[in-house]
Structure 1
Amino acid sequence: MAIYAIGDVQGCYDELQKLLELIRFDPAKDKLWFAGDLVNRGPKSLQVVRFIKSLGDRAVCVLGNHDLHLLAISQGNRTHQKQSSLMDILEAPDSHELIDWLRHRPIMVHHAKRNVSMVHAGLPPQWDIMTALSCARELEKTLRGPGFHDFCQQMYGDKPDKWRENLRGIERLRFITNCFTRLRYCTRDGRLSMRDKGSPEQHLNASIPWYAVPGRKSRHEMILFGHWSTLGYRQIDNVWSLDSGCFWGGQLTALKLRKRKPPKPYHLSCPAR
């Protein structure tokens, strides 16, 4: 069995199918890990969600910020509706079923035997892997439980920006959400810099990539993530960045995880839009 980790699809269904042909994906024996942001921006978000759902346990997908935007809109939070291309999902005859499936996806995936984890965006420097998994389970429980609607009304915001174990309620959930689905940069003392974007080479502020913060507690774990298209495919500091900007005319990336060899990347060139 092969495991392929795939970067942000963002509604690019046709490119996803071509990538699966490129890697010769066999649903009878292979497994796909998706780094989140299945939807939005691209033209075929509905087809992407239906296809990945149809794969059953052959596909695992962590939730990204665009996936959470979809969930929020489904619950009446219109904060980012004007920036979305999600109405085909919300107006589909199977919309309720798709939304319910999506909110039951994991926030973080961990493969203990291979010592590898996947998140959509990043981890704060204060979390080791066990803390990260525990926080992921907290957010998953909220998304899957009776607090789902209320959470969707309150999840947006950049505060709090530093982890404290005694955080409670929506502040705790918002911090967890921002780490797993929005994080790119941190300050050197471990605060989230939610407004900072762009590639590290072009970044002029004092903040640094989350994975480069000195003393990061998860640094001994192999971590796969997406979310950061301007970073592109990159392997550094025991992390693999998989969002190579398919929607923006870059590439769609798959990373084959191998037991006794380094991961092998595959890249599909995508048309400019």
Structure 2
Amino acid sequence: MMRIPHFTLNTQGRDIAVGDVHGCFSKLEAALRRVRFDPAKDRLFSVGDLVDRGPESRQALQWLDLPWFHAICGNHELMTWRRADGRPIQEFDHRTHGGLWLDDCPPEEQQRIARRLQALPLAMEVDTPEGVVGIVHADFPYEDWNAIHGPGFDASDEYVCLWSIDRYETRYAGTVRNVRALIHGHRTTRTMLQLGNVYFIDTGGWREGGRFTLLDLHTLKPLS
């Protein structure tokens, strides 16, 4: 999972990041229509947690086949593929965290889900006119973005990237060096939260009464 894809500058359209989807792809489609998303020019980047909780988790693989849609691994992808592969995470009961849908999938489909979700990267980088933007699901354990490319990045760091809420809970506003901005989901907030150059964009589009924040990565402003 340590492959870190790098996306070069989109000179034809917009690059947009979206928070956790949690199986609510119809709601995401409606949000994209409202901002006139153009799949011929625009790209959509997911902070992870495509699956669980919502009614359309099985559509995740269809979205991952779309050439303009790019996602990283969230903790719910990890729980899903581990259980689908017969190696559930013992500390977390996936079923009680929105994972009952997986039981409705036949064994062959579960294996497809496991292979595809296991292949998702831990993070990704997107070039913008003002510099590189990093995307990690939950948190980042270093003050320097370049650490993610270093040989010392290990399993404990991956755990932070997938599960931690430390920065959010402590409201730590220190800047992560060598990256223009860092985009997270995982921790649901009423509105987008910025701490230093770190942005939390899961505003509960998958919840009743919530909405998806669609963040323009070129301007670092939410699209209305």
State the TM-score, normalizing by the size of structure 1.
0.66
Contact 1:219–1:238 (CA under 8 A) maintained in structure 2: no
CA distance in 2: counterparts of 1:119 and 1:220, whole angstroms: 12
Instruction: Report the equivalent of 2:77.
Output: 67
- Counterpart check, 1:222 vs 2:184: no
Structure 2 CA distance for partners of 1:178 and 1:111, relative to 1, 3 Å = same
- Counterpart check, 1:252 vs 2:209: no
Query: Which sections of structure 2, spanning at least 5 residues, go unmatched?
Result: 1-12
CA distance in 1: counterparts of 2:163 and 2:178, whole angstroms: 19
AA aligned opposite 1:54: D
Contact 2:47–2:184 (CA under 8 A) maintained in structure 1: yes
CA distance in 1: counterparts of 2:86 and 2:49, whole angstroms: 20
Structure 2 CA distance for partners of 1:2 and 1:176, relative to 1, 3 Å = same
- Counterpart check, 1:55 vs 2:55: no
CA distance in 1: counterparts of 2:164 and 2:28, whole angstroms: 25
State the TM-score, normalizing by the size of structure 2.
0.79
Instruction: Report the equivalent of 2:162.
Output: 181
CA distance in 2: counterparts of 1:110 and 1:17, whole angstroms: 24
Which of 87, 91, 94 is equivalent to 1:81?
94
Q: Higher relative CO (CA 8 A, sep ≥ 6), structure 1 or 2?
A: 2
Query: Which sections of structure 1, spanning at least 5 residues, go unmatched?
Result: 136-164, 187-198, 201-207, 268-273
> Post-superposition shift, 1:71?
1.1
Mapping of residues 146-185 of structure 1, within 5 Å: 165=152, 172-173=154-155, 175-185=156-166
What SS does the corresponding residue of 1:115 show, helix, strand or coil? Answer: strand
> Post-superposition shift, 1:90?
4.1
Contact 1:27–1:55 (CA under 8 A) maintained in structure 2: no
Equivalenced residues, count: 204
What SS does the corresponding residue of 2:38 show, helix, strand or coil? Answer: coil
Structure 2 CA distance for partners of 1:51 and 1:237, relative to 1, 3 Å = same
> Post-superposition shift, 1:93?
5.2
- Superposed CA deviations along residues 171-229 of structure 1, whole A, max 9, x for unmatched, are x41x122211111116xxxxxxxxxxxx75xxxxxxx14x43x5x65486311110010
Which of 119, 129, 138 is equivalent to 2:136?
119
AA aligned opposite 1:15: K
Q: Runs in 1 of length 4+ with deviation above 6 angstroms?
A: none
What SS does the corresponding residue of 1:60 show, helix, strand or coil? Answer: strand
Contact 1:46–1:89 (CA under 8 A) maintained in structure 2: no
AA aligned opposite 2:195: I
Instruction: Report the equivalent of 2:144.
Output: 128
AA aligned opposite 2:122: I
CA distance in 2: counterparts of 1:45 and 1:132, whole angstroms: 29
CA distance in 2: counterparts of 1:134 and 1:12, whole angstroms: 35
- Superposed CA deviations along residues 135-184 of structure 1, whole A, max 9, x for unmatched, are 7xxxxxxxxxxxxxxxxxxxxxxxxxxxxx4x9xxxx41x1222111111
Structure 2 CA distance for partners of 1:89 and 1:230, relative to 1, 3 Å = farther
Structure 2 CA distance for partners of 1:263 and 1:81, relative to 1, 3 Å = closer
- Superposed CA deviations along residues 90-138 of structure 1, whole A, max 9, x for unmatched, are 43754433332222221111124532111101111x3511112347xxx
Structure number with larger C-alpha Rg:
1
Instruction: Report the equivalent of 2:36.
Output: 24
Root-mean-square deviation over aligned CA pairs: 2.5
AA aligned opposite 1:266: L
- Superposed CA deviations along residues 221-250 of structure 1, whole A, max 9, x for unmatched, are 311110010464122311111100123322
AA aligned opposite 2:211: Q
> Post-superposition shift, 1:88?
5.8
CA distance in 2: counterparts of 1:9 and 1:76, whole angstroms: 25
Structure 2 CA distance for partners of 1:241 and 1:223, relative to 1, 3 Å = same
